[in-house]
Chains A and B, each alone.
Chain A
Amino acid sequence: MVDMDPNAIINMHNVSFYYGQSRALTDITMSIKKKNVTALIGPSGCGKSTLLRLLNRMNDLIDGTRVEGEILFEGKNIYASDIDPVEIRRKIGMVFQKPNPFPKTIYNNIAYGPKLTSTNNNDMDTLVEQSLKQAVLWDEVKDILNKSAMNLSGGQQQRLCIARALAMKPDILLMDEPTSALDPISTAKIEELIEELKKDYTIIIVTHNMQQAARISDETAFFYLGNLVEYNKTEKIFTNPDVKHTEDYITGRFG
C-alpha cells in the first residue's frame, strides 16, 4: 500500500475507531485514488460503513465515539481541531442506504443545500437542471419539478438523492449500500450512473453485493472484524486475491 500516492485523494494512517469501549476499526491504513470507484466489502458488522461515515465525519453525530490516527483529505487531517466538519461534508457528499429525500418538491430537494451554503445563488435553475441531468433523472422529472419528491419511485428517489449530493459540487461521493433497497432495474440504472460519474468524481461505495463490486469498482477493499484484510485492484481481488481469507469470502465459503 503506497503511502504518498500522488493520485490519492484520501490517505488514512493507522485509523482506529471506537464506539464507547468497543473497537469497530483497527489500525486501518489505506489510500483512495482520485476519480476511481473504490468498493468496500465484507460481512455485516465488519466496519465498512463505519469507515465510510468516518470520511465525512458523520460519526460525529453519535455520542461517545472516538477516532485515532489520521485521515488526510487533500493533505489535511479532517480530524484536526481547526477543521469544521460542515466544510468537510460540503466537499465529501453522501448517499444513504435508504433513499431519504426531504418532504419537499423535487426542485427544492436539489436547491436546499446550495441555497443554504453558498452566497451565489443567481442561477439555481441551471444548477438544478445540471444536477438532475448528471443523475440521469432530468427527463423523468422535468415536468414535475414542483411535485413532492415523496411521490417518486424508490429508484428515482435514490437518483434524486445522488443529484442532491452532486448539486453541492463535491469532490468525493460516499455511497452506503445505495442499491440495497432497490429493485434490479433501478440498481442497474444506478450502476450505470456510477460508471458515468467516476469521470468527474471520486466514488467510495459500500456494498453487500459482490457482483456489484466486481462490476463497477476499480479497487476493492475487504474488511473483516474491523480489520482491512486486503486492498487491491478489483480484478485481482475477484480473480486471484493475495489473501486466502478474501478468496473464501468472495467465493461464498463464509459470510
Chain B
Amino acid sequence: MKWRYFKQALFFAIVRLSSLIIVLALGGILFYVIINGIGVISWDFITKPPTDSMTKGGIMPAILGTLYLTSGAIVVGLPLGIVSAIYLTEYAKQGRIIRIIKVGINCLAGVPSVVFGLFGLGFFVVLMKFGSSILAGSLTLGFLILPTIIGAAEEALKSVPQTFREASLSLGVSKWQTTFRIVLPNAMPGILTGSILGIGRAAGETAPIMFTAAAFFTTKLPSSIFDEVMALPYHIYVLATAGTNIEATRPIQYGTVLVLVAVVLGIDLLAIIIRGYMRKNKKW
C-alpha cells in the first residue's frame, strides 16, 4: 500500500517539476533578455534609424520592416489557409486523396525554414522577378505559416456543431452560404487562436527572409511592397555575426531581441483581443 502512495507522490512530483522547468526556462529567457536589453531601450531607440555603422542609433526601420512582413504573411497565409481548410473539412470527400493532401500539409510544417527561404529566393525573387522585397518575403513567410493556419482552421471548423450546419441546410440555404454565414463566423475565434502561433513564428523567423526581403542596412524606409526592408530577426543576426564591431553592438543586440519579443507578444495580444471580441456572441 505504502509503495503505491509513494509511486503516486513521485509521479506528481515529476509532473510538477516538468511544468516548473518549462516555466523557469521561459522566465529565465525573458529575464535575461530584459536585464540585458532594457538599458538601451529609449524613445530614440525605437524611433530612429541606426547610425555609425549600426553601433549607435535606433532600430526603427527593422521594427517597421518586421511589422510589414508579418502583416504581409497574415494577408497571404490566413485567407489561403482558411479556404484550404474549408475545402478539406467541408467540401472534399474524405478519402485517399484527402489523406495524401493532409500528409503533405504536415510534411510542409516540418520543412526547415531555410528551405522556405531558398524556395522564396528561387521562385518569388528570381523567377517571378519580385526581387528581394516585402512582397517576396511576405509570400515566403505566408507559405511558412500556412500549415499552422490550415491545421488550426481545420480544428476550429470541425468544432462547429454539426447541428448548426443541419439547421441552416434544412432551411433550404445552400451549402456555401451555410459555410460562410454560419460555419466560418463560428469557427473564426478558434482559427485566430491557432493562427497566433504561426503569426508569432512569422515575426521571429530569420532564414525565410534573409534571401527574400531583408536588407543588411538601409536608412530609407520602403515606399512600396517591391522595396527591401530591414527586419528585427535578421538585424539581430547581422549584428551578432557580421557587424563591424560586434562587442560595441552587444547592448543593441539585446535591445533588439527585447523589442522583437515585445513585437511578437504584441501581435499575439492583438489576436487575443480580436478573438475575445468575436467570441462574445459564442455560446453553445
**A25-38 toward B: CB 8 Å interface, digit per residue (1/0)?**
00000000000000
Report yes or no: A89 in contact with B166, Cβ–Cβ below 8 A.
no
Q: Does chain A have a CB within 8 A of B186?
A: yes
Report yes or no: A113 in contact with B186, Cβ–Cβ below 8 A.
no
Q: How large is the interface on A (under 10, 10 to 19, 20 to 34, 35 or more residues)?
A: 20 to 34
Q: Does chain B have a CB within 8 A of A240?
A: no
CA distance A112 to B174 in the complex (A): 12
CA distance A86 to B178 in the complex (A): 12
Report yes or no: B283 in contact with A96, Cβ–Cβ below 8 A.
no
CA distance A148 to B282 in the complex (A): 10
Report yes or no: B171 in contact with A96, Cβ–Cβ below 8 A.
no
Q: Does chain B have a CB within 8 A of A51?
A: no
Q: How large is the interface on B (under 10, 10 to 19, 20 to 34, 35 or more residues)?
A: 20 to 34
**B161-177 toward A: CB 8 Å interface, digit per residue (1/0)?**
10111111111111001
CA distance A221 to B283 in the complex (A): 38
CB within 8 A of A117: which of B163, B165, B172, B282? B172
Report yes or no: B172 in contact with A86, Cβ–Cβ below 8 A.
yes
Report yes or no: B282 in contact with A103, Cβ–Cβ below 8 A.
yes
CB within 8 A of B281: which of A88, A96, A104? A104
* Minimum CB–CB distance for B188 against chain A, Å: 12
CA distance A88 to B172 in the complex (A): 7
CA distance A56 to B163 in the complex (A): 16
**B239-270 toward A: CB 8 Å interface, digit per residue (1/0)?**
00000000000000000000000000000000
Report yes or no: B166 in contact with A112, Cβ–Cβ below 8 A.
no
CA distance A161 to B124 in the complex (A): 52
Given A61-B166, A102-B182, is A113 in contact with B281 using a C-beta cutoff of 8 Å? no
**A58-70 toward B: CB 8 Å interface, digit per residue (1/0)?**
1001010000000
Q: Does chain A have a CB within 8 A of B94?
A: yes
* Minimum CB–CB distance for A124 against chain B, Å: 15
* Given A58-B169, A88-B172, A150-B284, 8 additional A-B pairs, CB 8 A: A56-B170, A86-B172, A86-B173, A86-B174, A93-B170, A96-B170, A100-B164, A103-B186
- Which 9 pairs of residues, A with B, have the shortest CB-CB distance? A90-B172, A113-B171, A94-B170, A100-B163, A89-B172, A150-B283, A100-B167, A116-B173, A86-B174
Query: Which B residues fall within an 8 A CB radius of A?
Result: 93-94, 161, 163-174, 177, 181-182, 186, 281-284
Query: Which A residues fall within an 8 A CB radius of B?
Result: 56, 58, 61, 63, 86-91, 93-94, 96, 98, 100-104, 112-113, 116-117, 148, 150-151, 161, 164-165, 168
A-B contact pairs, 25 of them (CB 8 A): A58-B170, A61-B169, A86-B169, A86-B173, A89-B172, A90-B171, A90-B172, A96-B163, A100-B163, A100-B164, A100-B166, A101-B167, A102-B168, A112-B173, A112-B181, A113-B172, A113-B173, A116-B174, A116-B177, A117-B172, A148-B281, A161-B167, A164-B171, A168-B171, A168-B172
